[in-house]
Amino acid sequence: MKIGKFSKKNNISVDSIRHYMDMGLIIAEKVGGKYYFEDTCHQDLKDILYFKKLGFTLHEIQTIFRYKRLGILSPFQQFEYYTTLFDNKYKEIENKIKKYEETKQYLQTEIEMNQSRREKRLKLGIPLSALSLMACHQCRSKLNVKNAEIENNQLLNGSLKCFCGNQYFIEEGILCTEDQYDKLKIRKENDQISITKDIISDYIHTVDGNLIDQMYKCLDWMYKKIDPNDMVDKNILELGTGIGLLLRHVYEIIPDESFYIAVDHQYECLQYVKNTLETSDQTKNILFICSDFLNIPIKNKSIDYLFDLGGTTNYNFEHDTFLLKETDHYLKENCNIYGTYMLFKNFIENSIVHQLKQRHLFTFSEMEKQMKILQYKTIDDTIFDDEIKPEDKYESYFVEGEKVFSYCYAGKKVPFNL
């Protein structure tokens, strides 16, 4: 009987049969380039499935078959051999069950602790003390609180209004500009809000492992360069918080007296990050702002630290202006910057970046030029250039053959007139 019929008759896949053949568990006769399976093959397959039910691995079954085939055991020897074999497997499984019971107990304890944390979940909103930092993005006047739900000195829901008519809305602790809030309402009405808990897991399993490693190197590099003692009583702005890779990485070292302004135009991402941080034992002054980068409702010359983990890079795909220049008015004259930028060593003709008129913004020379224009003095920088494979779902900005690298930069504004 041929392999296809053998597969159907025994209700087992052809791939499994081939694997058993590769291991020598099933020995089929090859005639004219095709394998034929006789009664011995049926018995071998039956034995394989039987031993698997008893908890034996394929490699253990391989040893059993070799012993059976070469040992030519008498009935009494077979009885002795299998008795010893089954006794040893029984003891092994008993030990595994004992270890699994211990592991189960540890897991139960962790589950109960996590459940307790959920029940004690903190609520993060807009700190009342942060209102002095905020201003209308158009006229830069102060904002007044309207119809607010306040808890633990934080604004959880409500609105902020400027005398010029501009209004900002606080939805579940996240401040939204009016245009973003209108988009949010439409998505809620159409039941399109989706906060996925598995986004990081899906990302890790989808993108190239070298890219994951490279991103961690960037995070770790930035983390080691930041001095938390120097950030006490300082205002920190992150351009493009996304799913909070950087914020969650540095959350514990953010000084309690500082304000961290997490900005992104995707409400769901900010809500995901906020929900995650609310399970922490620590409460920090985090302002979650759903806004375009050019419309952030904070005062000019108010930011001491700028964090830019890919925010400028993502902005460059859709705009022909340099984001750091567009947002420079938010920064104090001696502002510190820590950033990571995806740059290209070469462009392939059919790639997304090559077709952009602003593709020069993705080059090292242009990055160096813009930093000088913005009066940044380099404190430290480095390049991570692991070989990265493109994929379509998350990181579709480059194609096979293009050389991309991560440029990590730490600098400080030093105005020319000082």
Summarised one tens digit per residue, pLDDT across range 131-152 is: 999 999 999 999 999 989 999 8
CATH 1.10.1660.10 fits 3-72, yes or no: yes
Please report the pLDDT score of residue 52 as a whole number.
93
Please report the pLDDT score of residue 74 as a whole number.
67
What average pLDDT does this structure show over 179-203?
Answer: 79
Summarised one tens digit per residue, pLDDT across range 311-349 is: 999 999 899 999 999 999 999 999 999 999 999 888 887
pLDDT at 399 over 80: no
Domain boundaries, the chain: 3-72, 199-413
Query: Which of 325, 390, 382 lies closest to 358, judged by CA?
Result: 325
Summarised one tens digit per residue, pLDDT across range 354-396 is: 888 898 999 999 999 999 999 999 999 999 988 777 666 666 6
pLDDT at 72 over 80: no
Classify strands 259-264 and 285-290 as parallel, antiparallel or unpaired: parallel
Number of H helices and number of E strands within the chain? 13, 14
Query: Which of 168, 147, 403, 372 lies closest to 288, judged by CA?
Result: 168
Summarised one tens digit per residue, pLDDT across range 94-128 is: 999 999 999 999 999 888 877 766 666 688 999 99
Torsion of the alpha carbons at 247, 252, 257 and 260, rounded to the nearest 10? 0
Cβ-based neighbours of 219, under 8 Å, separated by 6 or more: 245, 246, 249, 309
CATH topology of domain 199-413: Rossmann fold (3.40.50)
Question: What's the residue count for the chain?
Answer: 418
Token representation of residue 347: 């462009």
